[in-house]
Amino acid sequence: MRSGRTADMEKPFTWSSSGRSVLNLNIRHLCLVGVWPLGTSHLYQLYVIFVFAMGVWNFAEGSLCVSYCWRDLEATTLVVANMFTMGSGNVKMAFYMLNRPRYNSMVRRVDSLMSLQSESCSSNPALENIVQRSRRRAARLTLGMLLFMASQGIVWFPMPLIADPSERRLPFVQHPWDNNTSYYQLSYAVQCVVALWMAQISMGMDCLFVTIMILVAAQLEVLALRVGKLRVDESGAGEGRRIASASSVAHEKMYSNLCFCVKSHQEILRFARLLNDTMSPIAMTLFAFNVLVGCVVLFQTTYSSDITAVIKCLVFLPILGGQVYLYCWAAHQVKDQAEAVSTAAYSCSWVDAGTSFKRALRILICRAQKPLILTAGHVCPINREAFLSMVNASYSYYALLGQMNKRSVD
């Protein structure tokens, strides 16, 4: 029975079935950029291979360029920044392809999680507003970040042609072995396409996980409000023996509502473990790559003599910080809302409740007091403190590069 349920959860999505998912925007975007197949088309499989090969080509082109200009720290760091930025999308794509069933299961479990408390939300406008607000926030955030990422092409792609049309310069990686003379137009077009696709893949994967964390935090917020409003409802009780009977029924209903809350809490925690296992390598890739890219972009902004490189790096810096901050902010929201469940338990009418209710409530409080922490690589906690740590680490590497540059100049 369990294996059959697991197989259903891991069943691939189609384009039509993805439209019924709460994550339809994220899934369909990843499908369009060549990551998430919605169907069994062989042509799409070739498309996936082609997109992945473009990322590999970008890394190979950058590595070859570094081998020619490794003595020039300014040129090397600019190429390395591009390699790691594009490589991040390729690595995230590889993680997805190695764990496709887990990603399908994760999305289906999100949909199941959203329907778990739907009955309580439908009868309570305040709870329904929390859920709808989280969905709108996630959709706006996804669209905003993807469009902002695409808008970077307006700055990066035409910059070499605008700054100095007489020089045959490429937008990201130069070809010092032939001074950009061979296949210049083709190389220019390929670099722009690869940059656009890999950036959309990388940001698309990040938005998927941030969206899920926003929805999980909303479900925990709904659960906390439900727990906090558990009351003994004895309205309509008559006189005499009817009072005792109504009181008994009210206590049983209160206990039944608590049991449903406990079940919902367990389902959310069970899903959080799956989310952590799936997201952990992606988050670790993002943190490691963005720390390295951040330090070299800061170096370019400070020491580069090329004004076009400085402008591009200044425009790109908010993206690096924004990607890391989104993870840390969303994961911190999950942690805060999980702790709120324990606090809300003290607000319910437990004093007037029966022994079985108090016993179940103690179990819920003890479990909710255990911090719900999402991690990167199962090592680094993802929270606001982690964001500050990433910024400090990036600045430390930047200072090291600055010292190396001074020594080479001296």
Question: Distance between CA 142 and CA 134 in Å, rounded?
Answer: 12
CB-count exposure of residue 240 (10 Å: 0-12, 13-18, 19+): exposed
Residue 238, pLDDT score: 44
Question: Distance between CA 52 and CA 91 in Å, rounded?
Answer: 9
Q: How much of the chain, in percent, has pLDDT values that exceed 70? A: 93
pLDDT (tens digit per residue) in 394-404: 888 778 877 77
pLDDT (tens digit per residue) in 171-201: 888 898 888 888 899 999 999 999 999 999 9
In contact, 106 and 208? CB cutoff 8 Å: no
pLDDT (tens digit per residue) in 299-345: 777 877 777 777 777 777 788 888 899 999 999 999 999 999 988 88
The CA distances from residue 70 to 56, 62, 179, 247, 410, in Å, are: 20, 11, 16, 80, 18
Residue 376, pLDDT score: 92
Residue 110, pLDDT score: 94
In contact, 116 and 215? CB cutoff 8 Å: no
In contact, 236 and 248? CB cutoff 8 Å: no
DSSP state of 11: P
Crossing angle (nearest 10°) for helices 100-116 and 241-303: 140
Residue 3, pLDDT score: 57
pLDDT (tens digit per residue) in 166-177: 788 888 888 988
Residue 233, pLDDT score: 60
Estimate to the nearest angstrom the gap between the alpha carbon of 52 and the chain centroid.
21
Residue 235, pLDDT score: 47
Give the pLDDT mean for 20-44. Answer: 93
Residue 355, pLDDT score: 84
Give the pLDDT mean for 196-210. Answer: 94
Answer yes or no: is pLDDT of 34 > 50: yes
